[in-house]
Structure 1
Amino acid sequence: MKMLGKELSGYDINEIIDSLLKYMDRFKNGVLVPLSGGVDSSVLALLAYKKFKDKSRAVTFDSQLTPRYLLEASKKVAKYIGIKHIIVKSNEFAIKEFTRNPINRCYICKKYRFKVLEEILLREKLDAILDGTTFSDLSVYRPGLKAIEEMKEYVKTPYIDLKISKDITRKLASYFKIPTYNYPPDSCLATRVMYNEELTPEKLKKIDIAEDYIRNLIGLKPIRVRLHGNLVRIEVPLDSFTDILKHKDLIRLKFHELGFNYITLDLEGFRSGSFDIYVKK
């Protein structure tokens, strides 16, 4: 866990780190960090370990909602940090309302997971759950924020409270040489399915395989395979269109093998939360 010793352009890196560590002063008995393997939670886990050592925990959900490469990334990050890593098997599909895939699906899932995390928190005799939602997330559709508010006795949001945005957490991750600092932003596989279309483990597994296949062809870039019935819509950055078209025959064959009848490339390119664009907040 070695810092690079250089300043971030436009930011006082030491001031940002100190503000986050000072934020944790109130939690005398240590903290728990939900670790997805992404940049935001990885930085929090690293700082929690720096602050509390053996009184810190990272918890990752091994779920059918999680892209497999991110589960492996969380293990890699936890090992790099040295933090005790708890992996919890979860089954969100046991929640009937969740499988209906309503527009507040994220709230239903977050509430379920926070309840599981609360049990671990109390068992481990720690003080707080440090959630990695950033200040930037307040400007987009995030129904899961309601679950944070309802669980605020235990769930704390340092990035929101300190107004730390996603671009800063990414620079912090690079500064600390976190192994996944250059990973593109990602989210749970349920976000690939159009709202009100039933969620099933089989659908998400196919999507995960499809995205991983493209990732192996074009590299570690933002990739989404969005499902609309038996049609899939591939989202990649505009500058990756050439790569997709170069491998179009391989992709077509693989996707047909997975059972996708119609395969399209979204001309607008990658857009985080593209199913949320027309949702009334």
Structure 2
Amino acid sequence: MLSQKLDRLQKLFAEMNQALIAYSGGIDSTLVAKIAHDVLGDRALAVTAESPSLLPEDLEDARIQAAEIGIRHEVVRTHELENPNYASNPVNRCYFCKSELHDTLKPLALKWGYPYVVDGVNADDLSDYRPGIQAAKERGVRSPLAEVGVTKLEVRELAKQLGLPWWDKPAQPCLSSRFPYGEEITIHKLQRVGRAERYLRTLGLKNLRVRSEADTARIELPPEQIKEFVLTTDLPTLVNEFQSYGFVYVTLDLEGYRSGKLNQVLQLTH
């Protein structure tokens, strides 16, 4: 079954002949970049958008991964924070983010001779609240993984099968997803969240989020890691570190990490 999906993906890219990949460095778009390069060689191009909502370390990871895959890689700047529809952080914030991204990528694709822009949206993404997907569709972006019905679990299985060493890389959505809807997003807030998450990773933690609400940082960890974290972490040092980034209060979410948690307010209001 999985081999059949891989065959379909390869045929899809062969039919495209040339493709520009919206490449964040996450495992979904990395898999797309790998398959596109395997099929198209230099007729595939990966492009990463550099903005305050992307950690510098994640951009560097994207560069390293692209180099290892062998795909040509470009970095462009996007300016979504300059759009008040984005910075005010409405529930459809992602729509304006992806609009900015693809309004930047599409002219480049046409200029450089790429008839297709593709992204890393997978089949599971279609069942979540993802207004950015609509923005991409409106601009003619294709989502090969979703088209073929590849789930998130299958993305990792395929990545492992194809020898990508990052197959189990934790999901790392843009930093703007750390803020409750309606709270304004600023460069300072993005930077302090990013620094806080980087600090937690130096402690050996992988799957985590630091949610930011006003002056409070709320740490989310997998539920099974919470007890050990409390018992083994130097909490006063951690608090001091977070406060040096600009947070006043540091809390731990007792429910634990769950992807898309901030979207639960949307369910409660409907």
Match of 2:59 in 1: 71
Structure 1 residue runs of 4 or more that deviate by more than 4 Å after TM superposition: none
Return the letter of the residue paired with 2:256. G
- Root-mean-square deviation over aligned CA pairs: 1.4
Q: Within the alignment, does 1:225 sit opposite 2:214 as a pair?
A: no
Match of 1:9 in 2: none
Deviation at 1:243, TM superposition (A): 4.5
Q: Within the alignment, does 1:129 sit opposite 2:129 as a pair?
A: no
| In structure 2, distance between residues paired with 1:254 and 1:170 | 34
Are the counterparts in 2 of residues 103 and 195 from structure 1 also a CA contact under 8 Å? yes
| In structure 2, distance between residues paired with 1:259 and 1:124 | 43
| In structure 2, distance between residues paired with 1:275 and 1:50 | 37
Deviation at 1:175, TM superposition (A): 1.5
Deviation at 1:232, TM superposition (A): 1.3
| In structure 2, distance between residues paired with 1:97 and 1:169 | 32
- Residue 187 of structure 2 is aligned with which of 195, 198, 201? 201
Match of 1:157 in 2: 143
Instruction: Give me the identity figure in percent.
Output: 33
Are the counterparts in 1 of residues 19 and 118 from structure 2 also a CA contact under 8 Å? yes
Match of 2:245 in 1: 258
| In structure 2, distance between residues paired with 1:25 and 1:50 | 10
List aligned pairs for 1:85-164, cutoff 5 A: 85-152=73-140, 155-164=141-150
- Deviation string, structure 1 residues 83-107 (Cα, Å, up to 9, x no partner): 1100112222111211111110000
Deviation at 1:174, TM superposition (A): 1.3
CA distance change for structure 1 residues 65 and 85 in 2, over 3 Å: closer, same or farther?
same
| In structure 1, distance between residues paired with 2:73 and 2:86 | 27
Return the letter of the residue paired with 2:171. P
| In structure 1, distance between residues paired with 2:9 and 2:162 | 14
What SS class does the counterpart of residue 144 from structure 1 fall into?
helix
Return the letter of the residue paired with 1:217. L
- Residue 249 of structure 1 is aligned with which of 221, 231, 236? 236
Match of 1:3 in 2: none
What SS class does the counterpart of residue 137 from structure 1 fall into?
helix
Deviation at 1:13, TM superposition (A): 4.1
Match of 1:279 in 2: 266
Gap runs ≥5 in structure 2: none
Match of 2:202 in 1: 216
Match of 1:190 in 2: 176
What SS class does the counterpart of residue 149 from structure 2 fall into?
coil
| In structure 2, distance between residues paired with 1:242 and 1:212 | 21
TM-score (norm 1): 0.91
Match of 1:7 in 2: none
Deviation at 1:262, TM superposition (A): 1.2
Deviation at 1:253, TM superposition (A): 1.2
- Deviation string, structure 1 residues 147-202 (Cα, Å, up to 9, x no partner): 122112xx111111111111001111111222322211110000001111111000
| In structure 1, distance between residues paired with 2:73 and 2:228 | 37
Q: Within the alignment, does 1:18 sit opposite 2:3 as a pair?
A: no
Are the counterparts in 1 of residues 78 and 100 from structure 2 also a CA contact under 8 Å? no
Return the letter of the residue paired with 2:13. M
Identify which range, 164-173 or 176-185, moves more after superposition: 176-185
- Residue 44 of structure 2 is aligned with which of 51, 56, 72? 56
Are the counterparts in 2 of residues 73 and 180 from structure 1 also a CA contact under 8 Å? no
| In structure 2, distance between residues paired with 1:177 and 1:36 | 19
**How many residue pairs end up in the alignment?**
266
| In structure 2, distance between residues paired with 1:13 and 1:135 | 14
TM-score (norm 2): 0.94
Gap runs ≥5 in structure 1: 1-11
Deviation at 1:276, TM superposition (A): 0.6
| In structure 1, distance between residues paired with 2:229 and 2:215 | 20
Are the counterparts in 2 of residues 110 and 144 from structure 1 also a CA contact under 8 Å? yes
